[in-house]
Amino acid sequence: MTPSEYIKKVPKAELHLHIEGSFEPELMFEIAQRNKIEIPYESIEELKKAYQFGNLQDFLDIYYAGANVLIHEQDFYDLTMDYFKQCAKENVVHAEIMFDPQTHTKRGVEFSTVINGIQRAREEAEKQFGISSLLIMSYLRHLSEDDAFETLQQSLPYKHLIKAVGLDSSEKGNPPSKFQKVFEESIKEGYIPVAHAGEEGPAEYIYEALDLLKIVRIDHGNNGLSDPKLVERLVEEKIGLTVCPLSNTALRNVDQINNHPLKKMLDLGLKVTVNSDDPAYFGGYITENYLSCIDALDLSLKNVKQLVRNSFEYSFLSDKKKEEFI
């Protein structure tokens, strides 16, 4: 079997997916219409043409604008269900889904509206497709730590539905240290800490995420490669890295997929996984991410098997559940 044939069929897990980043233009137009909200694009094609990014901020501006049309619980349900339908097609059997409450509460949408819609879809996906999932509540790092504390408070009635906390949005100039206290408190509440680090920011931010936020998994982490001591530590401490190849090229962190460091990371013994990040914006869901790397980096079947195995091993599933898949 070729690596490409293998990856299309094999049960796999996705560990880095922003639900707001799975918002396909078709659904965006549909929801905008029913909520009577204007989108500044004439058509789906015109909107898709705007998906040309020079960096992370270019993308985030469009991503937050897209999320503006999400108002009702049903909207969050439809958004999440769309993602699960894609998971079912690609044999993603477990998904760890990030959501950004502040993207919505800042616009006057209640925390409960967001989480109830997502939760209903999770239950439906489990029932209909047998897909397991868990939630990572991500704090927006361009906002203040006080704002994140407010979000933490809002989440507490729903603590049983949320597994982990994360840190996303504009990385440069917003180091992990800015959120040390809110992560400390989040851990006390029982949330597992993760954070985006080393996507656009320096290796120093990865050290901060590890040492100050006590994170157990890193989202992206590519820029850690510039520091051999850090690489050694990530390998030694078995820190999972949720790498997103098509995101990295779309946001110009890597100039072209042939130059993506995924294979190098694997060869160094880093605990890498492959993920889609914001698939509606970056040109492909998880399988497409794998296929692009298989093609461009000449990944072997052994490499791909390792990546799939990592996707379960570095998930937040219980050890017993992991055993079912590995």
Q: Is 277 annotated as a binding residue?
A: yes
- Give 122-166 as a DSSP string: HHHHHHHH--EEEEEEEEETTS-HHHHHHHHHHHGGGGGG--EEE
**CA–CA separation, 154 vs 225, rounded Å?**
37
Tell me: does residue 277 bind Zn ion (CB under 5 A): yes
* Beta-ladder partners of 96: 134
Tell me how far, at minimum, the Cβ of 16 lies from Zn ion, in Å.
Answer: 6
Shortest Cβ distance from residue 112 to ligand HPA (Å)? 22
- Specify which residues 167 forms β-bridges with: 139
Site string for ligand HPA, 196-235 (x = CB under 6 A): x--x------------------------------------
Question: How far apart, in whole angstroms, are the C-alpha atoms of residue 309 and residue 67?
Answer: 33
Residue 245 CB, nearest approach to Zn ion (Å): 12
Q: For residues 21 and 193, which CB has a smaller minimum distance to ligand HPA in the complex? A: 21
- Shortest-Cβ-distance residue relative to Zn ion: 277
The yes or no reply on residue 82 touching ligand HPA (CB under 6 A) is: no
The smaller minimum CB distance to ligand HPA, of residues 83 and 325, is found at 83
Q: Of residues 254, 277, 297, 316, which one binds ligand HPA by CB under 6 A?
A: 277
CB of 219 to ligand HPA, least distance (A): 8
* Closest CB to ligand HPA among residues 122, 196: 196
SS3 109: coil
**Closest separation in Å from C-beta 305 to ligand HPA:** 27
Per the annotation, does 260 bind a ligand? no
**158-197 CB burial, b ≥16 within 10 A, e <16:** beeebbbbbbbbbbeebbbebbbebbeebeeeebbbbbbb
Q: Which stretch binds Zn ion (CB under 5 A): 70-78, 153-161, 273-281, 309-317?
A: 273-281
278 annotated as ligand-binding: yes
142 is in an annotated binding site: no
* By the rule CB under 5 A, 96 interacts with Zn ion: no
The alpha carbon of 323 is separated from its chain's Cα centroid by a whole number of angstroms, namely 23
Q: Does 21 bind ligand HPA (CB under 6 A)?
A: yes
Say whether residue 18 binds ligand HPA (CB under 6 A). yes
Residues 6+ apart with CB under 8 A from 16: 96, 98, 219, 220, 242, 243, 244, 273, 275, 276, 277
> Measuring CA to CA, how many Å separate 37 from each of 40, 68, 81?
10, 9, 21
Residue 241 identity = L
Which residue number places its CB atom closest to ligand HPA? 168
In 3-state terms, the chain is what percent helix, strand and coil (to 5)?
A: 55, 15, 30
Find the catalytic residue in 199, 200, 208, 313. 199
**Binding status of residue 278 toward ligand HPA by CB under 6 A:** yes
Say how many residues make up the chain.
326
Active site residue 199: yes
Instruction: Decide: is 171 part of the binding site for Zn ion (CB under 5 A).
Output: no
Q: Among 179, 168, 161, which Cα is nearest to 63's? A: 168
Q: Are 241 and 271 in contact (CB under 8 A)?
A: yes
Known binding positions for Zn(2+): 16, 18, 196, 277
Tell me which residues touch Zn ion (CB under 5 A). 277
The residues binding ligand HPA (CB under 6 A) are 18, 21, 56, 63, 168-169, 196, 199, 247, 277-278
Active-site amino acid positions: 199
